[in-house]
């Protein structure tokens, strides 16, 4: 239960901090933080909550990460569904708090976007479905590989969350214009429920592509870094 609670709280903070920066601060009149600020906010939320809760649950906070770690042999299949459910509910809780805060401003309209992900007319830069699918698969794949590397016992544990957070920031710098950056189905689901409409219609993309990417990342890492087979002596 402590592990599931940690995953819930961590995903809650990720959505509130990251999506909150996009909804409340990105385009603030004359002083918005812009894409760079939003990317940093997502990275900082992941760094802070990973240091705070990583020792309890492993700091997944993302169904694609949990799946990738399972495929890569780092995570128990029996824990996979409970982790994913905790992450989804945590993301929904974070989106709920964000909605309650944002709705205190006159003229607020969640259906205008609410930091939801999308392609085509719902993409910030007008990117197509194939572009979004490719970006999400590749970025999630690399993200999982980085996570698996820096959480390996051979890597200094103290710097792991920092490297992961920097990777997450870079991912957002690349793909916010493409689709508002998902690489996390729980993050996408929470805000899409409040945005409704096209955000919900396109939500399947932000489950399918990160999960595929996460599974690929786990599988590739396992192949690349698995111990070499011992050669039989002649």
Phi-psi sector, 29: left (phi>0), alpha (psi -120 to 50), beta: beta
Identify the pLDDT of residue 154.
79
pLDDT in tens, 3-30: 999 999 999 999 999 999 999 998 766 6
pTM for the whole thing?
0.92
CA 225 to chain centre: 24
Q: Which residue has the tokens 């495929």?
A: 71
Q: What is the pLDDT of residues 191-202, one digit of tens each?
A: 999 999 999 999
CA distance 143 to 47: 14
The pLDDT-based confidence of 228 (bands split at 50, 70, 90) is low
Asked if the model's pLDDT at residue 101 lies above 50, the reply is: yes
List, in order, residues 6 or more apart from 162 with CB less than 8 Å away.
47
| Of 214, 88, 91, 212, the residue nearest 148 (C-alpha) | 214
- Report how far residue 46's alpha carbon sits from residue 21's, in angstroms, rounded to the nearest whole number: 13
Q: What domains lie within the chain, and their CATH numbers?
A: 1-225 (1.20.1080.10)
Query: What integer pLDDT is reported at residue 152 of this predicted model?
Result: 86
Report CA Rg, the chain.
18
Report CA 93 to chain centroid distance, whole Å: 15
Q: Are the beta carbons of 213 and 64 closer than 8 angstroms?
A: yes
CA dihedral 179, 184, 189, 190 (to 10 degrees): -100
Determine the Cα–Cα distance for residues 22 and 36; give it in Å rounded to an integer. 10
- Report the C-alpha gap between 84 and 8 in whole angstroms: 9
């Amino acid at each position: 239960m402590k592990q599931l609670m940690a995953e819930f709280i961590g995903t809650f903070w990720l959505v509130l901090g990251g999506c909150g920066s996009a909804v409340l601060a990105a385009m603030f009149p004359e002083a918005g933080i812009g894409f760079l600020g939003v990317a940093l906010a997502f990275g900082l939320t992941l760094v802070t909550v990973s240091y705070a809760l990583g020792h309890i649950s492993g700091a997944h906070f993302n169904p694609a990460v949990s799946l990738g770690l399972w495929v890569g042999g780092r995570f128990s299949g029996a824990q996979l569904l409970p982790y994913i459910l905790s992450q989804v509910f945590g993301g929904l809780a974070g989106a709920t708090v964000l909605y309650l805060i944002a709705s205190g401003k006159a003229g607020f309209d969640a259906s205008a976007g609410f930091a939801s992900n999308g392609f085509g007319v719902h993409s910030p830069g007008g990117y197509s479905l194939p572009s979004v699918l490719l970006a999400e698969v590749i970025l999630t794949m690399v993200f999982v590989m980085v996570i698996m590397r820096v959480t390996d016992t051979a890597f200094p544990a103290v710097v792991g969350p920092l490297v992961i957070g920097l990777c997450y920031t870079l991912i957002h710098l690349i793909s916010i214009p493409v689709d508002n950056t998902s690489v996390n189905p729980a993050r996408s689901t929470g805000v899409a429920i409040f945005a409704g409409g096209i955000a919900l219609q396109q939500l399947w993309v932000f489950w399918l592509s990160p999960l595929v990417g996460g599974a690929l990342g786990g599988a590739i890492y396992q192949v690349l870094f698995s111990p070499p087979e011992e050669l039989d002596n002649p």
